[in-house]
Amino acid sequence: MKKFFIPMLITLVVASCKTDPATVEEDSTATVTYQEPYRPQLHFSPPAKWMNDPNGMFFYEDEYHLFYQYYPDSTVWGPMHWGHAVSTDMIHWEHLPIALYPDSLGYIFSGSAVVDRNNTSGLGTADNPPIVAIFTHHDPVGEREKRIDFQYQSIAYSLDRGRTWTKYKGNPVVPNPGIRDFRDPKVSWHEASQSWIMILAAKDRVHLYRSPNLKDWTFASEFGAELGSHGGVWECPDLFPLGSEDDMSFQKWVMLVSINPGGPNGGSATQYFIGDFDGTTFTLDPAFAPRVQATPDGNQQAVWLDYGPDDYAGVTFSGVPPEDGRRLFMGWMSNWSYANMVPTAPWRSAMTLPRTLSLKQMPMGWIIRSRPVLEFEALRTGGFEVVRGPEQGEKEITPVIPHAPLPVEINLRAMASPTESVGRFGIKLSNDPGEHLSIGYDPQAMQYFIDRRESGPADFSDAFPKMLTAPRLSDDPAINLRMIIDVSSVELFADYGSSVMTALFFPSEPFNHVSLFAEGGELEWQRIDGRSLQSIW
Ligand code: FRU
């Protein structure tokens, strides 16, 4: 029996019971300093209280908008609102007031937003086009009464650059068709058929709808019943054309689908499909499917945008100007297996770094690469380089890192097949009590790994202390590891963003040592360098 929304909510209730209520109470009144233990210094986080998925991300009049699933009354999940922030670079954010509050139709679950430039909806004017948010209304009463039709899609609009929002009187615009899990609409303009397209999660597959005006929607097609991973409910899909890194004029359509549970390292993760879309139907193109192993649940192949456990429900920005042309992505940097229990206060959760997506042809097929946006590089400060050469065992490099050690960006390069005696190699962070986190490559298993088994007290969840792995998808003779390490997270972009892993960690004292390591034999390091990174706050 698949686990759909009810089990998740039950988990959340249990989760909130596991959290010491006294601690939460106390912390919720604490002053926000952005210097609290574990507070991300490079990543967006709400000043206080609970956050999950990024929602409604769009670019308009020189601003990137980020909305997010937000519960302003607690640090555990609850009645959902849309929190709001704006940025000119996707790195430094200005917090704005809550954009959407729950109403008589329900909580405001995940969704998207578009600039309706031609005022197709009639909700604005030709001179002042409306920004339209499309989201799921989740009716908690219907859910309690064990109905199946308590999720439906609604819209709201803004005529003042996203500052204030009015809910549409004719909501919902897509009533529930008798499907229990029916949510997370992502809308985009399909140029070729001059129509709005909505993709949304329907149980463990997606449904597509079409509309001329964002208000009247017609069912178009279904995708995914027999494809990809089905270890849990499908959530937060996205559908867009994506250019090849080697020839930007070559594009394929890409579908992102988050799934919970069923991720490659347990719990939540985001899979993708590459194919074609004619405005009505998405078709997987087998010639573009990476050749990867079948999923443990015996289903068809699944490929993951990020193999780490802490990148979920991510989607892409709409409205990025054609002259920019990037496909920009952000995910929620947590996992439903323990999101409600991680030891942070007075807030819970952060977003991943914003990333640029691109298609790349590899020997094993086509994949999606992700890399931090270029704007991120403005945070770089003092650089460092470690003398290259043969090393064996462990070597501390903390003294060469200016403002050491965190946050820091580290690049490592070594041969993918060093001598037979060399085992795992990479970088290790540790603290005086001896807690440690290592990130690296295992040449025998041909896997990247993040080992957080002993990275700190993990009494908050058995699902947390794990050896996390990702397959290598490149056959380049050299391994390139780029790691962006914030106070309580690491993002590993291996082989130029081909194998990506995001993972959280919570040491009892900050990591204050950084070492290189090579197990088994002597490893010839070809490159070891990096930068300290400035706080965004
Ligand atoms: C994904 C999700 C969505 C839902 C939202 C509720 O993390 O479960 O499917 O809309 O979170 O907060």
| Structural contact between residues 295 and 322, judged by C-beta atoms closer than 8 angstroms | no
Structure tokens at 138: 């989740």
Alpha carbon of 505 to ligand 1 centroid (Å): 23
Question: How many Cβ atoms are within 10 Å of 26's Cβ, its own excluded?
Answer: 12
Query: What value does the mean pLDDT take over residues 7-35?
Result: 47
What SS3 state is found at 13? helix
Structure tokens at 390: 């043969």
218, pLDDT greater than 80: yes
Query: Which domains does the chain carry?
Result: 374-533 (2.60.120.560)
At a CB cut-off of 8 Å and minimum separation 6, what does 343 contact?
A: 38, 457, 460, 506
Alpha carbon of 49 to ligand 1 centroid (Å): 16
58-99, pLDDT tens digit by residue? 999 999 999 999 999 999 999 999 999 999 999 999 999 999
- Out of 143, 151, 235, 332, mutate this one to test ligand 1's pocket (max ligand atoms within 8 Å of CB): namely 235
Residues forming beta bridges with residue 485, ordered by sequence position: 408, 490
| Of 405, 408, 401, 482, residue with least CA distance to 441 | 482
Q: What's the first-to-final CA gap in the chain, in angstroms?
A: 45
- What string of DSSP letters covers 170-213? T--SB---S-SSEEEEEEEEETTTTEEEEEEEETTEEEEEEESS
Alpha carbon of 253 to ligand 1 centroid (Å): 24
How would residue 15 be classed by pLDDT, with cut points 50, 70 and 90? very low
2, pLDDT greater than 50: no
Tell me how far apart the alpha carbons of residues 25 and 426 are, in angstroms, rounded to a whole number. Answer: 41
Tell me how far apart the alpha carbons of residues 121 and 418 are, in angstroms, rounded to a whole number. Answer: 60
> Could you say which DSSP state residue 362 is in?
E
The rounded mean pLDDT for the chain is 92
Which numbered atom of ligand 1 lies nearest the CA of 53?
7
How would residue 31 be classed by pLDDT, with cut points 50, 70 and 90? confident
464, pLDDT greater than 90: yes
Q: Which residue has the tokens 């109470």?
A: 25
245, pLDDT greater than 80: yes
- Out of 82, 143, 151, 183, mutate this one to test ligand 1's pocket (max ligand atoms within 8 Å of CB): namely 183
pLDDT for 213 equals 98
- In sequence order, which ranges of 333-467 are alpha helices (DSSP H)? none
Q: Catalytic: 306? A: no
469-528, pLDDT tens digit by residue? 999 999 999 999 999 999 999 999 999 999 999 999 999 999 999 999 999 999 999 999
What SS3 state is found at 50? strand
**Residue 133 backbone class (left: φ over 0; alpha: ψ -120 to 50; beta: rest):** beta
| Of 102, 226, 234, residue with least CA distance to 179 | 234
The alpha-carbon radius of gyration of the chain (Å, integer) is: 23
Which numbered atom of ligand 1 lies nearest the CA of 312?
7
The residues lining ligand 1, judged by C-beta closer than 6 Å to any ligand atom, are 52-53, 69, 80, 109-110, 136, 183-184, 235-236, 313
Q: How many CA atoms lie within 13 A of 131 on its CB side?
A: 21
Could you tell me the CA-to-CA distances from 203 to 117, 217, 237, 254 in Å, in that order?
Answer: 32, 19, 12, 20
> Could you say which DSSP state residue 354 is in?
P
Alpha carbon of 52 to ligand 1 centroid (Å): 8
Which numbered atom of ligand 1 lies nearest the CA of 5?
8
Alpha carbon of 346 to ligand 1 centroid (Å): 21
> Could you say which DSSP state residue 132 is in?
E
Which numbered atom of ligand 1 lies nearest the CA of 181?
9
Structure tokens at 186: 């992502």
105-116, pLDDT tens digit by residue? 999 999 999 999
Mean pLDDT is lowest, of 121-125, 347-351, 362-366, 394-398, for 362-366
How would residue 173 be classed by pLDDT, with cut points 50, 70 and 90? very high
- What string of DSSP letters covers 462-475? TTSS-EEEEE----
Which numbered atom of ligand 1 lies nearest the CA of 201?
9
How would residue 292 be classed by pLDDT, with cut points 50, 70 and 90? low
Closest C-alpha to ligand 1, atom 6: 109
| Structural contact between residues 427 and 483, judged by C-beta atoms closer than 8 angstroms | yes
The dihedral over CA atoms of 9, 14, 16, 19, expressed in degrees to the nearest 10, equals -150
pLDDT for 30 equals 61
pLDDT for 66 equals 99
**Residue 77 backbone class (left: φ over 0; alpha: ψ -120 to 50; beta: rest):** beta
Alpha carbon of 236 to ligand 1 centroid (Å): 7
| Of 290, 169, 315, residue with least CA distance to 240 | 315
CA geometry: angle 444, 445, 446, nearest 5 deg: 90
135-146, pLDDT tens digit by residue? 999 999 999 999
Tell me how far apart the alpha carbons of residues 275 and 306 are, in angstroms, rounded to a whole number. Answer: 19
Phi, psi of 185 (to 5 degrees): -70, 130
| Structural contact between residues 398 and 384, judged by C-beta atoms closer than 8 angstroms | no
pLDDT for 418 equals 87
| Of 256, 255, 208, 258, residue with least CA distance to 232 | 258
Specify burial of residue 97 (Cβ count, 10 A radius: 0-12, 13-18, 19+).
exposed
197, pLDDT greater than 60: yes
pLDDT for 363 equals 85
Query: Quick one: what percent of the chain has pLDDT higher than 90?
Result: 87
Tell me how far apart the alpha carbons of residues 4 and 239 are, in angstroms, rounded to a whole number. Answer: 22
Structure tokens at 511: 């990591």
Closest C-alpha to ligand 1, atom 8: 235
Tell me how far apart the alpha carbons of residues 72 and 77 are, in angstroms, rounded to a whole number. Answer: 10
Closest C-alpha to ligand 1, atom 9: 235
| Of 40, 98, 86, residue with least CA distance to 353 | 40
Catalytic residue, chosen from 53, 116, 139, 238, is: 53
